[in-house]
Amino acid sequence: MTEQNTRLGIWMMVLTTFIFAVQDGISRHLAGEYNVFMVVMIRYWFFAAFVMTVAARKAGGLIAAAATRQPLMQGFRAVLLVAEICVMIYGFTLLGLVESHAVFAAYPLLIAALSGPVLGERVGWRRWAAIAVGFVGVIIILEPGFGVFQPAAVIPFIAALMFALYGLLTRFVARLDSAATSFFWTGTVGSVAMTAVGAWFWEPMSAPDWAWMAALCVTGAAGHYTLIKCYEVAEASAVQPFAYLQLVFASAIGLLVFAETIRLNVAMGAALIVGAGLFTLWRQRRAG
């Protein structure tokens, strides 16, 4: 892996986190006006079309992309991700982008904590210590002992837990299936599952919001495209720490566009979570 490729991969990851942060901002706006299920359903229609277009252009086409020896696990992964997206966007409408992303940033720590029981990987005491520090950060954000604890603050943590499990299952299915197959199942099965739910919550949408909906669909596809390219040119361990920039970009959008504020406890908790997460990534890279 050349230095130039790693540098390009880092820039692609920075671009990806920015695109996903913009997507979160648009999702926050649309979910504040319309039902979350409908918004995610329309987004997934475009995502499924994008996934199928990518698959059709590769050798073997759609049949090769769909071929798997673990359809139940692939299907469960896809449904888990689309459910996580619904939960996280609902969290945006209740808490805003800043606090939701501050808590959600714990998902790499959850992956590290669950990699032992789910994948049988060994987690050393240093990483367990970092995981504990990260969860102290989550507790500082949630403020359970100060009389202002919002049950809604648990929602992005549930989303982080779901996303961590999705990430671990993605690694699990990768033992038998290609990334292209997992990507295909994620988009198509997720779209079918979301349509089965979202069709019951259809609402008329204004013309300006249809434009925002189109922007949401384009950012979704663009973000996944740049993420795929990022992992093509650089090792995941080299670029993964830069995924935390999504917290920075999403918080900036929350502050500038939605007039959110950053409370001191949220800033302190997020700093602990990100610091602990970066340490676990560093330990994982050394162990690898």
**pTM (2 d.p.):** 0.89
pLDDT value, residue 1 = 43
Tell me the pLDDT tens digit for each residue of 144-174: 655 445 678 889 999 999 999 998 898 888 8
pLDDT value, residue 144 = 61
No. of helices (H) and no. of strands (E), the chain: 13, 0
In this structure, are residues 92 and 216 in contact, taking their beta carbons and an 8 Å threshold?
Answer: no
pLDDT value, residue 2 = 46
Which residue pairs, CB below 8 angstroms and at least 24 apart, start in 78-82?
Answer: 78/185, 78/186, 78/187, 78/188, 78/189, 78/190, 78/193, 79/189, 79/190, 79/193, 80/162, 80/165, 80/166, 80/169, 81/162, 81/163, 81/166, 81/186, 81/190, 82/40, 82/44, 82/190, 82/193, 82/194
pLDDT tens-place values along the chain, 288 residues long = 445 588 888 899 899 999 999 999 999 999 999 999 999 999 999 999 999 998 898 888 888 889 998 999 999 999 999 999 999 999 999 989 999 999 998 888 888 888 878 777 777 888 888 888 888 888 888 776 554 456 788 899 999 999 999 988 988 888 898 888 988 999 999 999 999 999 999 999 999 999 999 999 999 889 888 888 887 788 777 788 888 889 999 999 999 999 988 888 889 989 999 888 888 878 777 766
Six-digit token string for 88? 């996280």
Domain boundaries, the chain: 3-287
Tell me the pLDDT tens digit for each residue of 217-266: 999 889 888 888 887 788 777 788 888 889 999 999 999 999 988 888 88
